[in-house]
Amino acid sequence: MQEDLSSGRIRKAPENFLNKDGIKTVLAEAKHGRRDFIRSAFVAAAAGAAVPAALAQGNPVPTEGGDPNILNLPEHSKGLGQGVAAEGYGKPSKFEANVQRRQSPGLTQTTQASVSFAPLQSLFGIITPSGLHFERHHQGWWDIDPSKHRLMINGMVKANKVFTMDEIMRLPSVSRIHFIECGANTAVEWGNVAVPTVQYTHGMVSCSEFTGVPLITLLELAGADLKNGKFVLAEGADGSSMTRTIPMELIKSGEVFVAYPEQGYPLRLIVPGVQGVSWVKYLRRIEVGDKPYAAKDEAVHYIDLQPSGLHRQYTNIQECKSVVTTPSGGQVLLDKGFYNITGLAWSGRGKVKRVDVSVDGGRNWRTARLEGPVQNKALTRFNLDWVWDGKPAIIQSRAMDDTGYVQPTYKQLRAVRGTRSIYHNNAIQSWLVQESGEVKNVQVS
């Protein structure tokens, strides 16, 4: 018990965890129609010998009349702390060591063509720290000397151009906050539950403030044919020399820009609302053309198989999506009582308009608070007050964007696209909170 006191949490001794009256009540209630889901959920949990653990009081007064963390002044209250610039580039507290991006075991055979997932369960607000931003590399990553990096513009232009980084950084720049999501985010869940936590289900989304030059500026500098040049090819400088086709219309809107980011340093294409594979890293070349390019990642991968056997090609927009980040899979609620349900919503078509949250598996919904400012094609944080009564609950979130599009259920998505599409799974996510307090990734029928 002594050890538990250090965090201010205390749990009852195991023999007190089982509350037989509670079990009876839940089962009795569960017999009435609409709470059937709770019965099935509870029975499943009970079958697993789950104890309704989370009945302990959060922060009790210890028998000695006070919390030793208060009564015994710690070192940091009685000594001299560290000086400035002890770290030239500050690092997180050592107590944050669990907050890491991670690979999903068995997903890929190599680390160079692979992915690491952002720890959404531990992040606040909407900005992803650069060091926790999800990674998706197709052929390994490089740290490129910016003084040797060049950007070329060619194709349907009056003059083929080359720019140094010095020159690009002289041009008028914009700073914008946008989400980036891999087209394959949540891919492993198309057919059934496959991974335990929000890090692995949804961790291929991140959000940063990017600074750089609108691509339209560079195209104008080269005298691009903006009328007949309907497509642009973006090409990376790394071994894979990743290529992707971008519509000129989107570039003319002024939304697409070349930025100086942490990933893809020193130059990366920013294509707001479009899947991450189009945000070409180590950008070395932009070609203006009149036809699409059918690059490898437009003709072999990043194509969406439909039940008809046809693949959808050039599926670029990340449609409206949301997920509750806490409470979420792999976590455990320590007590009954008040909780803040929080999560992230985003849309590749514009701004998030509204997010609704259900705690009964989608039967009833309440509208969550959006934390402003709500920005175009950026992550949006939502919060909802919730008092947990200690009974099983299924938490979901459902986002709507400013086009009126509402995030679909798995049932709706599968009815159209089947289960083998791999890409663009934006279905509503369900988290089952069991009586034990343990939260699990589930899908509901």
Binders of other proteins in range 332-391 (CB under 8 A): 332-334, 339-340, 348, 354, 356, 360-367
Binding pattern to other proteins, positions 248-277, x when CB under 8 A?
xxx----------------------xx---
- Could you tell me how many residues of this chain bind other proteins (CB under 8 A)? 163
Give the footprint of other proteins on residues 151-180 (CB under 8 A).
152-154, 157-163, 167, 170-171
Q: Which helix (H) or strand (E) holds 20?
A: helix 20-30
Q: Is there binding between residue 420 and other proteins (CB under 8 A)?
A: yes
Closest distance of CB 103 from other proteins, Å: 10
Q: What phi, psi does 199 have (nearest 5°)?
A: -60, -45
Among 33, 81, 83, 90, binds other proteins (CB under 8 A): 33
The binder of other proteins chosen from 72, 77, 82, 110 (CB under 8 A): 110
Q: How far apart are CA 325 and CA 119, in angstroms?
A: 9
Residue 291 makes contact with other proteins by CB under 8 A: yes
Grouping H, G, I as helix, E, B as strand and the rest as coil, residue 3 is helix
Residue 19 contacts other proteins per CB under 8 A: no
Smallest gap from residue 44 Cβ to other proteins (A): 7
Site membership for other proteins, residue 76 (CB under 8 A) = no
Site for other proteins in 124-153 (CB under 8 A): 139-140, 152-153
Alpha-carbon distances of 67 from 70, 200, 319, rounded to whole Å: 5, 38, 50
CB of 73 to other proteins, least distance (A): 19
DSSP code string of 229-271:
--EEEEEESSTT--EEEEEHHHHHTT--EEE--STTTT-EEE-
- Which one, 127 or 422, has the nearer CB to other proteins? 422
* Binder of other proteins out of 73, 94, 147, 227 (CB under 8 A): 94
Name which position in 120, 133, 235, 281 contacts other proteins (CB under 8 A): 235
Task: Kindly report the backbone phi and psi dihedral angles of residue 64, in degrees, each rounded to the nearest multiple of 5, phi listed first.
Answer: -75, 0
Nearer to other proteins, 259 or 393 (CB): 393
Q: Locate tokens 């609409």: which residue?
A: 34
Instruction: Give me the sign of the Cα torsion angle 16, 22, 24, 27.
Output: negative
Q: Is 438 a binder of other proteins (CB under 8 A)? A: yes
User: CA nearest 400: which of 368, 434, 425, 435?
Assistant: 368
- Are the beta carbons of 311 and 264 closer than 8 angstroms? no
With residue 299 as reference, give the H or E element that holds it: helix 296-299
Main-chain phi, psi angles of 250, to 5 degrees: -70, -35
Site for other proteins in 298-327 (CB under 8 A): 298-300, 303-317, 319, 326-327
